[in-house]
Chain A
């Protein structure tokens, strides 16, 4: 079993729709949760970071963490074509070594 499971998609939505992404993990020792956005042939860019259960909001992005279910989510509201990218969840037990999900490719259609 992989440490972090993420549906690779692809996911296609119309502009303005809500994009919903999620990951599950197996190790309850994981305490730090991140979402990265990666455009084609570029390095990942940090979008959201959290270390507790609950919601965290930043502009159009909302990250949710449910430690009891070992489930994390990222929601993108009012999606734009510029949001088209691969989104990677990353989880760490100690804010040091990261375990990445496979990444979900998202296309927002104009």
Chain B
């Protein structure tokens, strides 16, 4: 079945630094990747959608200069949280959709970001 690998699973960084999160589709080509943010006991909030080779489309209220998304290949998308602050601490999850219209989406295992 489709597998999406997300790394790191957990990261702690100092305030003001940048953190990069990787999302890889291991056995299929992901034409579209979605990045979500999830607060404790809350649902997934879509941050942005990225298509391979194109600029990401950000949801309203999400700062594109703070959350840089790159989708340079059909198997890799990255989310970089720039100049991180404690309020950026959250659980970030990617999901990927393949070339064929296979139903549903495959999610990564998530990254727990803590900014201290």
Contacts and interface: CB of A to CB of B under 8 A. Distances in A.
- Chains A and B are bound partners: yes
Interface string A40-51: 011111100101
Interface in A1-44: 6, 8, 32, 34, 36, 41-44
Contacts, number: 50
A95 B103 contact: yes
B104 A34 contact: yes
Interface in B65-113: 91, 93, 95, 97, 101, 103-110, 112
Contact of B105 (A46, A101, A105): A46
A100 B43 contact: yes
B95 to A, nearest CB: 8
Given A34-B104, A95-B103, A42 B43 contact: no
A76 interface: no
Nearest to A6: B43
Contacts of A102: 42-43
Interface size class of B (residues with CB under 8 A): 20 to 34
A28 B32 CA distance: 25
B43 A43 contact: no
Interface in A78-110: 88, 95-98, 100-103, 105
Contacts of A96: 32, 97
B43 A41 contact: no
B104 A49 contact: yes
A34 B43 CA distance: 14
B93 A43 contact: yes
Interface of A: 6, 8, 32, 34, 36, 41-46, 49, 51, 88, 95-98, 100-103, 105
Given A8-B41, A43-B109, A46-B106, 19 more contacts: A6-B43, A36-B107, A41-B91, A41-B112, A42-B109, A43-B4, A43-B6, A43-B107, A43-B108, A43-B110, A44-B93, A44-B95, A95-B103, A96-B97, A97-B46, A97-B49, A98-B34, A100-B44, A103-B41
